[in-house]
Amino acid sequence: MHFGTWGLAVIFVVLVSWLFYRYVAPQSWKEWSRAGALQAFIIAFYAEMYGFPLTIYFLARFFGLDLVWGEGGNLWAQIFGTQAAHIVAMVLGYTIVFVGATLVAHGWRRIHQARKEGRLVTEGVYSRMRHPQYTGLFLIVFGEGIVHWPTIISVAAFPIIVLAYTLLARKEERQMVEKFGDTYREYQRSVPMFVPRRNRPQQ
């Protein structure tokens, strides 16, 4: 059985939380309040993945879903009655997670160096989107909590996380305008916020 392994749930909560705070660290108490939504997602998600399959029980109780416990607590496996559905969702989901994690890592490396030098970073991944770390975060949550292992909580939390970090990105951009003025305004006009344009070459 995939569920009932609370030790794994604790390990993954600690590990993923550490990675989150390592690469997308909040800078103020307001940012910490937004980070709370993501932290709640992490705890609830892994508690359900490895602990208690709340979504499966809920669907079985209220929608008459026939449980096939040999297929574990993955929703896709339960719906389609085969582990093959889970494997397909896992491969696709982890592919999206990998892309997101790559964006977060590249973005963090660029912005960390730029902060030390006190300059605006517009090269590399920042030449394609203004907030690659948040785009990467959205992809990670989507790939893991929607594609690979959807749960009631993860599906409900995803738009809340996107909204919270979109508002945070806009706040950060106001600060960048105050610091860099027209240089940042021109950057805003030429580079999209989260989704890169196909026809813009990477610098």
Comparing C-alpha atoms, which of 139, 135, 51 is closest to residue 93? Answer: 139
Count up the domains in the chain and report the number: 1
Residue at 142 is within a domain: yes
Reading the block at residue 90, the tokens are: 């896992």
Mean pLDDT of 104-124: 87
Q: Does some domain include residue 202?
A: no
pLDDT bin (cut points 50, 70, 90) of residue 203 is very low
Give the closest residue to 52 by CA, choosing from 93, 94, 90, 8: 8
Instruction: Tell me which of 203 and 111 has the higher pLDDT.
Output: 111
Residue 199 domain-assigned (yes or no): no
Q: DSSP labels for 80-100?
A: HTSHHHHHHHHHHHHHHHHHH
CA-angle at 198, arms to 196 and 203, nearest 5°: 70
Higher pLDDT, residue 82 or 198: 82
Decide if 137 is inside a domain. Answer: yes
CA distances to 27, 95, 140, 161 from 195, rounded to whole Å, are 24, 18, 15, 17
Q: Are 161 and 138 in contact (CB under 8 A)?
A: yes
The answer to the question of residue 116 being in a domain is yes
Residue 197 lies in a domain: no
Of residues 14 and 73, more confidence is placed in 14
Is the predicted pLDDT of residue 69 greater than 70, yes or no? Answer: no
| Residue 201, pLDDT above cutoff 50 | no
Of 17-21, 90-94, 168-172, minimum mean pLDDT range: 17-21
On the question of pLDDT at 24 being above 50, the answer is: yes
Q: What domain range includes position 100?
A: 6-190
Question: pLDDT tens for residues 151-174?
Answer: 999 999 999 999 999 998 999 999
Banded pLDDT at 57 (limits 50, 70, 90): confident
